[in-house]
């Protein structure tokens, strides 16, 4: 619920938090970090700094702090209490003298995955992406018959998810050139990005017990940005008949801070109504649920751009609200509808969140029309797909009238050969 922690007039004694694009005091996301040459420990991002939770608890400045952030993800009451305590601590100047001893410059720290990710599932709820990609292969029938009835997804590989900053090694795989009768094995030539949100599951369900739609939002602990890198040439050869495999499991990048459901409360909005003529969801997916008003961007900076001192080029801009045909609650409910047990720390991807206009596409597959039309960058370079040395940044900001904008932090990786 909205409370004093969301007050737009609230400021922090951590000066760089005030007006910060991602981590003002109205955000306070949780993560796992390590100062130089020290062990990882839970912390909260505030401006350009990170403050450690266990040390604050040991000093008596907050209540007991968990050693494992899975406890925070899985316990809404604990998240709310810690958030309120941290808001008070970081806004009241009387705590500055003692609390700043536990403050670290983020630039001097290493940030890790916040929890051990047990399972990862990627969905396909971005309807404009589904239509655009479908049109490349089925111009007369872009959406398959099941799309508007069921939230489509596939089980991915949790072990290859990495935090922002870890380079992506260009994958090798089996592909079939158009001019050959047999496949070949070698480096991917059509490496792509995918602009997504990730949903952190907090508090799961018992095996065999579905999650009703009206309970689903309570199982979402928070959000992150997610780039599900894709080897499009490998994907084209292998995906039939069982769907994505090696084209998707080699690396996924996330922003490592859990922006909590509590922090995102002011940015929950009603989902856009379904177009006239679309089928009504089946009863178990029918009812009130919301989406998050998150503005999204994709930036690219090539090796040549860095050498010339050029700023990253904006590839696209879109909005999660405009893109999502199925809501986060519907994703969770459908995932558990057969009795599948979700667990705290599971990560669910939304799928690529492209906007309705071609320039709002969240992948190069769409922007380049399947590689047929190269994208011109500010440097004069052309891109159909990603090349070695390219750096991709995903940016997400939750916005709402009358509230301070909050963000997700870095979700970046460089392509290596």
Q: What is the pLDDT of residues 382-404, one digit of tens each?
A: 999 999 999 999 999 999 999 99
Select which of 20, 129, 313, 335 is catalytic: 129
In the chain, what percentage of residues exceed pLDDT 90? Answer: 95
Distance between CA atoms of residues 404 and 390, nearest Å:
32
What domains are there in the chain, each with its CATH number? 4-112 (2.30.30.230), 120-416 (3.90.850.10)
Over residues 271-289, the mean pLDDT reads 95
Is 100 annotated to bind a ligand? Reply is no
* CA proximity to 399, closest of 328, 320, 327: 320
- Is the whole-model pTM more than 0.95? yes
Q: Are 220 and 343 in contact (CB under 8 A)?
A: no
Distance between CA atoms of residues 87 and 281, nearest Å:
40
pLDDT band for position 273 (cuts 50, 70, 90): very high
What pLDDT shows up at residue 206?
97
pLDDT digits (tens, 9 = 90+) for 207-255: 999 999 999 999 999 999 999 999 999 999 999 999 999 999 999 999 9
The token pair at 344 is 């705290």
Is 138 annotated to bind a ligand? Reply is yes
Is 248 annotated to bind a ligand? Reply is yes
Is 179 annotated to bind a ligand? Reply is no
Is 228 annotated to bind a ligand? Reply is yes
Is 239 annotated to bind a ligand? Reply is yes
Distance between CA atoms of residues 42 and 74, nearest Å:
15
What pLDDT shows up at residue 37?
86
Distance between CA atoms of residues 395 and 163, nearest Å:
14
What pLDDT shows up at residue 125?
97
* CA proximity to 133, closest of 406, 327, 371, 339: 371
Distance between CA atoms of residues 22 and 44, nearest Å:
13
By three-state DSSP, how is residue 82 classified? helix
What pLDDT shows up at residue 67?
84
Question: Is 155 in the active site?
Answer: no
């Amino acid at each position: 619920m909205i409370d004093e922690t969301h007050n737009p007039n609230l400021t922090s004694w951590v000066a760089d938090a005030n007006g910060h694009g991602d981590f003002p005091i109205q955000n306070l996301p949780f993560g796992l970090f390590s100062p130089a040459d020290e062990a990882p420990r839970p912390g909260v991002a505030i401006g350009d700094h990170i403050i450690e939770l266990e040390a604050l608890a040991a000093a008596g400045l907050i209540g007991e702090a968990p050693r494992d952030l899975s406890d925070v993800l899985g316990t809404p009451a604990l998240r709310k209490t810690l958030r309120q305590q941290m808001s008070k601590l970081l806004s009241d100047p009387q705590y500055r003298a003692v609390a700043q001893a536990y403050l670290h410059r983020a630039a001097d720290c290493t940030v890790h995955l916040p929890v051990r990710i047990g399972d990862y599932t990627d969905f396909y709820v971005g309807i404009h992406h589904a239509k655009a990609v479908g049109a490349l292969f089925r111009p007369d029938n872009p959406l398959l018959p099941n799309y508007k009835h069921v939230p489509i997804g596939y089980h991915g590989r949790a072990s290859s998810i990495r935090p922002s900053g870890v380079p992506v090694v260009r994958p090798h795989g089996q592909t079939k050139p158009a001019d050959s009768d047999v496949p070949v094995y070698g480096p991917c030539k059509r490496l792509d990005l995918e602009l997504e949100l990730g949903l952190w599951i907090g508090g799961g369900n018992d095996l065999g017990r579905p999650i009703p739609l009206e309970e689903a939002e309570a199982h979402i602990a928070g959000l992150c940005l997610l780039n599900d890198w894709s080897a499009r040439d490998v994907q084209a050869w292998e995906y039939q008949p069982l769907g994505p495999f090696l084209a998707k499991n080699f690396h996924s990048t996330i922003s490592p801070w859990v922006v909590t459901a509590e922090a995102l409360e002011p940015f929950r909005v009603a989902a856009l109504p379904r177009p006239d003529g679309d089928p009504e969801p089946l009863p178990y997916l029918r009812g009130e649920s919301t989406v998050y008003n998150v503005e999204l961007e994709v930036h690219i900076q090539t090796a040549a751009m860095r050498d010339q001192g050029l700023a990253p080029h904006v590839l696209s801009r879109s909005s999660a609200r405009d893109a999502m045909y199925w809501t986060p609650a519907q994703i969770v409910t459908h995932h558990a509808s057969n009795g599948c047990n979700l667990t705290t720390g599971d990560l669910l991807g939304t799928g690529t969140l492209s906007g309705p206009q071609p320039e709002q596409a969240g992948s190069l597959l769409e922007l380049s029309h399947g590689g047929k039309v190269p994208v011109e960058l500010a440097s004069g370079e052309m891109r159909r797909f990603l090349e070695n040395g390219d750096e991709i940044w995903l940016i997400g900001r939750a916005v709402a009238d009358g509230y301070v904008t909050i963000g997700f932090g870095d979700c970046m990786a460089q392509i290596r050969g």
